[in-house]
Amino acid sequence: MQFWIIQFLNSLALGGLLFLLSSGFSLIFGLMRLANLTHGAFFMVGAYIGASLLRQRVVGMDLWLAALLAGIALAALGGLLERLVLRRLAGNSLGQVLVTLGVAFILSDACLLVWGGDPIPVPTPRALARPIFFAGLAFPTYRLVVIVVSVVVAVGLHALLERTRIGAMIRAGVDDMPIARAVGIRVSRLFTAVFCLGAGLAGAAGVLGGPIFSAYPGLDADMLPLALIVVILGGVGSLAGAFVGSFIIGAIYTFGSTLFPDLAYFILFLPMIVVIAYRPEGLFGRIAA
């Protein structure tokens, strides 16, 4: 019983982090039909920025502020990338692959240059560093907080999409781009805004995941496939899909690696293959990937 409770909480925490990572990817793909293969690198740069900010011991700096600042920094970087490069490549999906992977190479090598090859911790907030004890079980407090944060972010994003004007425009764009243009939505600005939002979410997620993952070379390559899997499983462009997909993958990863260690290398891919083959639009998506 103990095993199931702890691993269930584990899978929720991992799922929460995956949602923070993949929601941005999903939004960008849904609106712009752009598979942003730089997303893992954004996450890693975020983690490194968070680690640096928190190690400088600046007065008043804490994990949440660092996440915000890293989010803003990555949003700015994403905005630049979108304005300067990606917008010239609308509809050129191969060019997008080349450029987003190219930028991912640049960022990951730049991280090695700036931060070196050794892993750097992102400190856990002091108040959350001790595990929480209940019913004879110990569970990391910070991971519980991550679950809460991911739900809060999900609710916030949902509200943004459903209750605001920009959200309505994004939804219109996801559903039918020509109509959105026809009714006078300034799609160009919308693209930049969404790309900034997605990149910023990835950067902030890097900081929030930092106390668990740390910042290390290769974090980008470890995370990008996870984001892709989540989004494909849940359905591209669907926030609910990213949310549910994240927790499904979190659960499969957690239970799979302990219950079926021999399948550790492929267990994440099997459900995805089934979904793509038999429900190409994903569990919640309306458009085929």
Min separation Cβ 184 and other proteins, Å: 28
Site string for other proteins, 197-226 (x = CB under 8 A): --------------xxxx-xxxx-xxx-xx
Show contacts with other proteins in window 61-90 (CB under 8 A): 85, 88-89
Show contacts with other proteins in window 233-272 (CB under 8 A): 236, 253-255, 257-258, 261-262, 264-266, 269-270, 272
Among 58, 64, 130, 155, which residue interacts with other proteins (rule: CB under 8 A)? Answer: 130
| 164 contributes a contact to other proteins by CB under 8 A | no
Show contacts with other proteins in window 14-43 (CB under 8 A): 14, 17, 29, 35
C-alpha span between 204 and 210 (Å, rounded):
10
C-alpha span between 102 and 89 (Å, rounded):
14
C-beta closer to other proteins: residue 139 or 151: 139
Q: Which residues contact 202 (CB under 8 A, 6 or more apart)?
A: 21, 24, 25, 39, 42, 43, 46, 74
| 134 contributes a contact to other proteins by CB under 8 A | no
- Three-state DSSP at 283 gives coil
Among 79, 119, 125, 167, which residue interacts with other proteins (rule: CB under 8 A)? Answer: 119
C-beta closer to other proteins: residue 3 or 64: 3
Among 58, 98, 148, 155, which residue interacts with other proteins (rule: CB under 8 A)? Answer: 98
Within the chain, where are the H helices? 2-32, 39-55, 63-84, 93-115, 141-163, 165-175, 177-182, 187-213, 219-234, 239-259, 269-278
Question: Phi then psi for 217, rounded to 5 degrees?
Answer: -65, 135
Report the 10 Å Cβ neighbour count for 183: 10
Min separation Cβ 206 and other proteins, Å: 12
